[in-house]
Amino acid sequence: MTKIQETGDKVLANVERVIVGKHHEVRLALVALLCRGHLLIEDVPGTGKTVLAKAIARSLGCSFRRIQFTPDLLPSDVTGLSIYNQKTQEFEFRPGPIMSQVVLADEINRATPKTQSSLLECMEERQATIDGVTHPMPDPFLVIATQNPIEYEGTFALPEAQLDRFMLRIRLGYPQPIEEIVILDEQKRTHPLEELAEVLAAEDLRDLQRAVREIYVDPTVADYIVRIVNATRHHPDVYLGASPRGSIALYRAGQALAGLLGRDYVIPDDIKALAEPALAHRLIIKTSSTIHDVQSGQVVREILDATPIEGIRPTGGGPREVTPATPAATTATGT
């Protein structure tokens, strides 16, 4: 697991040359990357959403395309289309920008629902069907989407089915004053993004993605995940809770976070750290609760406080010894 941690720290340090003071958020982005998941970055303008996506893409040895979503964007502008070649008298497929390893979908909520839906098959099945022909996506394949949650004029809210395709949703927020001074100093002459170098090859990334799947998850941790997700379906403020896809996302994300922290096993604290980014965007809050300003993130935090956990005490390379513990005893020792 040291390889996952060392490589993750290298990418993290490279991205943080551009994104200052957002260590936790950048690590969550790497979690989605290692899990072969997709990332939704939601925040107000100017907080670094697009810059973070570009910094991740430049740190990887992967092909990169950016799609600027606008109301007049067509599905064929995303997936590609077949064009008739008069010389050969045959139709030729011209791939769209989605056929790249890292795709930045900028301001995704500005496109019409018809165009947004063109991403559904690409993100989940990792393929696109155009004119009855199925075209596979490259490997690795990551969609990083950004959206502005404040400005609603001329936007189309992402449907629940689309939101459910994103493994994690993160928010960057404003930097601290001292961090903003560092940003000003670094951008005095040139933007640090222009000098960002590649630190991870595509083949190495695929190896890390396979290694993450081997990280151990104790049955009691899996049970803890299921109890958290099930609680979202019965919370009084929630109209529709997280689906089994949410459970899988939390399970996979826990493996990736454990690997980035240098462990070969998942502990309940990993799940608690990931529950809100992995589940909050999948919940639909009741209208009556929305009036009282109940937010999905608040609901997830309430569920975490109310759901008891059991301590996991790894004993080395063999089977894990599970011992009951109080909610405060969430640490693990060994390995």
240, two tokens: 């529709």
262, two tokens: 């240098």
Specify whether the CB–CB gap between 116 and 79 falls below 8 A: no
Q: Which residue has the higher pLDDT, 195 or 280?
A: 280
In the sheet with 102-106, reading across from the earlier edge strand, the strands are 64-68, 102-106, 142-147, 39-42, 168-170
Domain boundary among the residues 193, 209, 225 is at: 209
| pTM, to two decimals | 0.84
The CATH number covering residue 156 comes to 3.40.50.300
Give the CA angle between residues 217, 220, 223 to the nearest 5°: 100
Q: Is there a domain that residue 131 lies in?
A: no
Q: Are residues 178 and 231 in the same domain?
A: no
* Least confident segment among 151-165, 168-182, 259-273, 308-322: 308-322
The tally of domains found in the chain comes to: 2
Q: Are residues 15 and 146 in the same domain?
A: yes
Which residues form the domain of 63? 2-70+103-113+139-209
311 pLDDT band (50/70/90 cuts)? low
Q: Is there a domain that residue 14 lies in?
A: yes
pLDDT tens digits, one per residue of 59-114: 887 888 999 999 999 998 999 888 888 888 888 888 989 999 889 998 898 889 88
In this prediction, residue 303 carries a pLDDT of: 94
Q: Are residues 148 and 274 in the same domain?
A: no
168 pLDDT band (50/70/90 cuts)? very high
